[in-house]
Amino acid sequence: MFDFTPIVERASIDEMYMDFTGCESLYGNDLPALMTTLRQLVWKEFSLPCTIALGSNKYIAKIAAGTVKPAGVCFVPHGEEKNFLAPLPIDVLPGVGTKTAPLLREKGFRTVADIQRTSRKQMNTLLGEVGTHLFTIANGEGPDALTVDWERKSISREETFDHDIGDISQVTKILHSLSEDVCSTLRSYHWKAKTVSLKLRYADFTTLTRAVTIKPTEDDTVVFVAVNELFRAAYSRKKLVRLLGVRLSNFSDREGGELDLFPGDGRRSQMFDAVDKLRKKFGDDVIHVGS
């Protein structure tokens, strides 16, 4: 999932939250379509059903996912949270369990709309802090920041093709695009990478991985040259390609590494900062760095 957004919170062994804030332009400002794509990718890669919901906060996403299990997709537009929740039974709210549900029903609460029609003070009087908490959720509010307690070890991007390809010029173009993607994410962390890896899957599903160690870099072109050389050394011209992937690892701080040997290195870093800002504002294809 880190291939799609840098912020992921693992909630359980089979559940996670992903924060796409600021990533909208990367996916054509159509995150609902991306949710469908993600579900299809999980099925294609692992043959497992996957439920995905998109909402403005964690509670909305969790509740929405529960309404389309075991293999659905649900999108709750921002501003429609209360309307979405209103007709649902009170049991969908996190915190309404075997003890709370009978008490609420005894007081006349059947749907989330019943809680919405009351007040925060009344819910607090009825259930204390739990009541206040339920009133907040029922009205579509909840945490929108993820808890991330991991140290990222790698950054990768992969592309699986609808049709197997054998055109080297097309492969080169894709490798260049993947290199741009991983380097852009790398710079967002203010890191440089020392290990560049290639993932190559043929049409018969034979999969190869190759890696090379280079001088720590954040440069699109340097990474592309390295991964392109790995590809050309590994590629069998008798086979079509189904998947390509580029992975960066072995990170160091951007400002804490070795001094640049040439003054132009610092100016090139500034150039990439400007490139990243343009891509974030206008989309990935607005500008490319020569390969």
Q: What is the set of active-site residues?
A: 15
Question: How far apart, in Å, are the Cα atoms of 252 and each of 137, 167, 215, 258?
Answer: 41, 35, 11, 10
Helix or strand run (H / E) with residue 120: helix 120-127
Gap between the Cα atoms of 28 and 37, Å rounded: 13
Helix/strand/coil for 87: coil
- Give 49-53 contacts, CB < 8 A, sequence gap 24+: none
Check if the beta carbon of residue 246 is closer than 8 Å to that of residue 193.
Answer: no
**Tokens found for residue 16:** 């996670």
What is the sign, positive or negative, of the torsion defined by CA atoms of 111, 136, 31, 201? negative
